[in-house]
Amino acid sequence: MKSIFTITALFTICLFHSQTHRFIYELQYKMDSTETGYQKQNMILDINPKEVKFYGQDLAITDSLNKKFGQNSSYTDMSGQVVKRKVNSFDNENFINIKAGYYSFKTTDKINWNISNEVKKVENYTLQKATTRFGGRNWTAWFSKDIPLNEGPFKFRGLPGLVFELSDAGNNFIYHLVKSQKLKETYPTQDFLESNFGNKAVPINEKQKQKLMMEFYNDPFAFERNTISKTATNLNININGKEIRTVDELNTQTKSMQEVIKKYNNPVEIDKAMRYN
């Protein structure tokens, strides 16, 4: 692991001016808790002088390609783990896509850690074990005081060192630190985090979020349904590669989508999972 990190000495000093300390985690996760296989994606933890941000690397890649080639592509992060917060704070601003909308809502997510005396060596780093219960799951983290930044993946912060490894007891979510970078300037995220490629995040609260998610579940193809009701016969709508020509066909697709939504209902904070009828 030592070979992929900047030398430890770089992290013993404070953040200066507009620098960004970037850490990239490989995330393995199960969208359906009953599955044996994993989805994989890289997640970015940016620690700036005033803010901390956590988001999918593909968001940054899409934004970079847009700027480089004058494109107008978009990307939807399906991890449900796009957040930002002030440094040394447990108050998070969460960002989420629901259907075609992009929203933000605030939460306070205090995490109480139990730090063990158990340690292990990973190349030249000493990792120490800590456990907690958060979001309805039991978690184990391995952190290193060698990098004295009290941050980690998603909302898992507050330990006296950077989190290198993190997983829940059921191994639904597994994070491994795979790379670190030191950027000279604060990395701009306004085009893909605070807004999603042209859609500025609309502030909502938890109750409004649940309402929007339930509305989407009840009628995931509401736009297409409205089109059918106002259009003559011989309609041709394409949904996920399938041609839809009648209301009955649309109803069949709706039921199929509802089953998918219920199946892939395994968020990090399982205690906040939607309870669909």
71, 178: one domain: yes
Instruction: Look at residue 240 and tell me if it is in a domain.
Output: yes
Q: 134 in helix, strand or coil?
A: strand
- pTM score, whole prediction: 0.91
pLDDT value for 96: 97
pLDDT value for 230: 59
Whether 77 and 83 have beta carbons less than 8 Å apart is answered as: no
137, 259: one domain: no
Locate 20 and state its tokens.
């960004």
**How many CB atoms are located within 10 Å of the residue 155 CB?**
22
Instruction: Look at residue 175 and tell me if it is in a domain.
Output: yes
Q: Alpha helix locations (H) across 219-246?
A: 222-229
Q: Give the CATH number, domain containing residue 158.
A: 2.50.20
pLDDT value for 200: 96
User: In tens digits, what is the pLDDT along the chain, a chain of 277 residues?
Assistant: 444 454 344 444 454 556 999 999 999 999 999 999 999 999 999 999 999 999 999 999 999 999 999 999 999 998 999 999 999 999 999 999 998 899 999 999 999 999 999 999 998 999 999 999 999 999 999 999 999 999 999 999 999 999 999 999 999 999 999 999 999 999 999 999 999 999 999 999 999 999 999 999 999 998 888 877 655 555 677 777 788 888 888 999 999 999 999 999 999 999 999 999 7
Residue holding tokens 């704070």? Answer: 89
Instruction: Look at residue 265 and tell me if it is in a domain.
Output: yes
Instruction: Look at residue 209 and tell me if it is in a domain.
Output: no
Structural domain total, the chain: 2
Instruction: Look at residue 263 and tell me if it is in a domain.
Output: yes
Distance CA 140, CA 151 (A): 15
30, 151: one domain: yes
pLDDT value for 100: 86
pLDDT value for 6: 47
97, 232: one domain: no
pLDDT value for 165: 98
pLDDT value for 237: 79
Domain that holds residue 262: 218-272
How far does Cα 234 stand from its chain's mean position? 41
Distance CA 156, CA 133 (A): 11
136, 234: one domain: no
Amino acid at 138: N
130, 244: one domain: no
pLDDT value for 234: 58
pLDDT value for 7: 39
pLDDT value for 186: 95
Instruction: Look at residue 164 and tell me if it is in a domain.
Output: yes
191, 233: one domain: no
193, 243: one domain: no
